Amino acid sequence: MKKTRILSMISATALVSMVVVGIPSAAHAAAPQCDGKVPINSCQGATSDAAPYVMQVPANFNGTLVLYSHGYRPNVPIPAGIPGYGGYTVKNTPQPGPLVGGADTSVIAYLLGHGYAVAGSGFARQGWNVDSAIATDVELIGAFKTQFPTTKHVVAWGESLGGYITQVLAEKYPTLVDAAAPMCMAENLPAELTEAGDFLWGFKTLFDPTIKGGNYSAGAAGYAEAMGDLVKVFTALGKLQAGISSGAWPDTSSATGKALAAAGVPSRSALLLLGLMAGLPTQSAHFDSISGPDGALKVTFPLAVSPALAILENGATAAALAVLVTHDVEQQAGGAIFDNTKTDYAARIVNERVVFNAALSGNTVIDALLGALSPQNPGAPRAAGNAAAMAKLDAMSMHSDVVSVPTITMVGVADPVTSAGASMRLANLYADQYAAEKAKAYSDYKKTREYNQPKKKLLSIWSTTPAAYTTFTSDGAPITTTPAAPGTNHCNFTAAQYLVVAQELVSAGQTGKFLAGGLTNNLVRKAKNLSVDPLFSFDLMKYYQ
């Protein structure tokens, strides 16, 4: 496939981190094979489910193991011709820690240099595999302790799907894990698939009705359908990008889309509405929705164009995620798992239609778009899920939203894959949990006259975007070749930001407490573009609204 201009705006690694869950088995891993080298003793092996793992232990091991769970890796190969992901092959290479920018091992080196051991698995199955991943991690902890009996503490961390695995591991096995750090944590699968699925459904309905978008066939036929959908999504996105300024619609648009085009509805307004109803961020890697080029577009660009360009960047990731994860989970569940037959998209954007009224081209256009997407329009058929498959989906491991051990979250406020709303919901629920713990402590005090203040067990860290970061060429065109802005893209953290989490994590694992407030604030300030403001607030995912 010939790559379109959209590739200049889409990260080829946008889906490298999501989450999976599994039921631990009673089996035990075979003893690892260690090289015995100094200063780092490297060990390799496999758990009873054939998941490969790696352990690295420094000569000055201080007794704390830092266990890492990697993020989502597609469970099928991506053919070389497909834009954005071409050439991906399924792999289960073990990963003992985060790789900054996809390759930099400096965070792992820091931990080893300070006496901490690191370990991680490649997992037995790729894709959405939470249950098996939990079983692997539990077994890996046991194997490590057997091989290194001086181990005193185990802390766990992971990104995206790996963050989800980490949270579930801590909830189910608080006696195995002393502290946890779910970074850019995925939300429970129904919420994740609702966000991605809503956008893909709307995209299909307006811009290319030949996209299947779910209910994929079994076996090779379904795989071909999903890969075909990826090609169609990126092709239509390229055409939308070319028509952002003019408002032109792709020639692949549906009859509904073409009717809207004939009525004068700009394609960028339609694209933005799809992003808003799904809950995608309106800031992206290169578009802050605030800045405009010098000249006549200084004000109109951020008002009318920039939000749509942000959705274009973020929507590429969301749509691809919807295709890959939907195909993956449908094969596991045995049928269609996305259902929007009862979704009220008008209710989804009650606030957004006011805030983004200009970019949506006003109330008349908004109402026309909502009418086009309503169940009353036969040109916008809703997606119906398979009841049995959806029941299997609900039976997959989900986190219970209980903070059992000291926990650190970190997420970008404009992450288009794992919404900051997931970490916000955990923070809100923990506030209720902590209030109940305080109430119980006071109740106990009235009986014993001894008040035991409950320890706070959640530290929320937010990776924030700069005040303004969109840049332009001398002729006013936005520049999209620069690195993604902080707080945007998926799990887009610097080494300094990872190290803030790492230091808080090992401190909490060893002492049961986070670092002192002054030290935490100093680390956050030096790392830049981070906030630990307890009053920070972020909208929940649309699924929970």
Instruction: List alpha helices for 45-178, DSSP H.
Output: 106-113, 130-147, 161-172
| pTM for the model | 0.92
Mean pLDDT by 10 residues, the chain (545 residues): 33 32 45 95 96 97 98 93 81 95 93 98 95 96 97 98 96 96 95 94 98 96 96 95 95 98 97 98 96 93 95 93 94 95 96 96 97 96 96 86 95 96 96 95 92 94 97 94 96 97 98 94 96 93 93
Q: Does residue 91 contact residue 131 with C-beta atoms inside 8 Å?
A: no
Instruction: For residue 107, give every residue at least 6 positions away whose Cβ sits within 8 Å of its Cβ, in sequence order, or none.
Output: 97, 98, 100, 495, 498, 499, 502
Instruction: For residue 206, give every residue at least 6 positions away whose Cβ sits within 8 Å of its Cβ, in sequence order, or none.
Output: 253, 254, 256, 257, 260, 270, 274, 372, 373
Question: Rg of the Cα trace of the chain?
Answer: 24
Provide the residue ranges of all domains of the chain, joining segments of one domain with +: 5-75+86-188+398-531, 190-393
Q: Which CATH number fits domain 5-75+86-188+398-531: 3.40.1380.10, 3.40.718.10, 3.40.50.1820, 3.40.190.10?
A: 3.40.50.1820
At residue 84, the pLDDT reads: 66
AA letter at 276: L
At residue 14, the pLDDT reads: 35
At residue 13, the pLDDT reads: 33
Q: What is the DSSP string of 195-225?
A: HHHHHHHHHHHHH-TT---S-PPSHHHHHHH
At residue 29, the pLDDT reads: 62
The DSSP H or E segment spanning 429 is helix 420-448
Using alpha carbons only, what angle is made at residue 188 by residues 186 and 192, rounded to the nearest 5 degrees?
65
At residue 6, the pLDDT reads: 34
Q: Does residue 323 contact residue 233 with C-beta atoms inside 8 Å?
A: yes
At residue 160, the pLDDT reads: 96
At residue 87, the pLDDT reads: 86
Cα gap 94→345, rounded to integer Å: 42
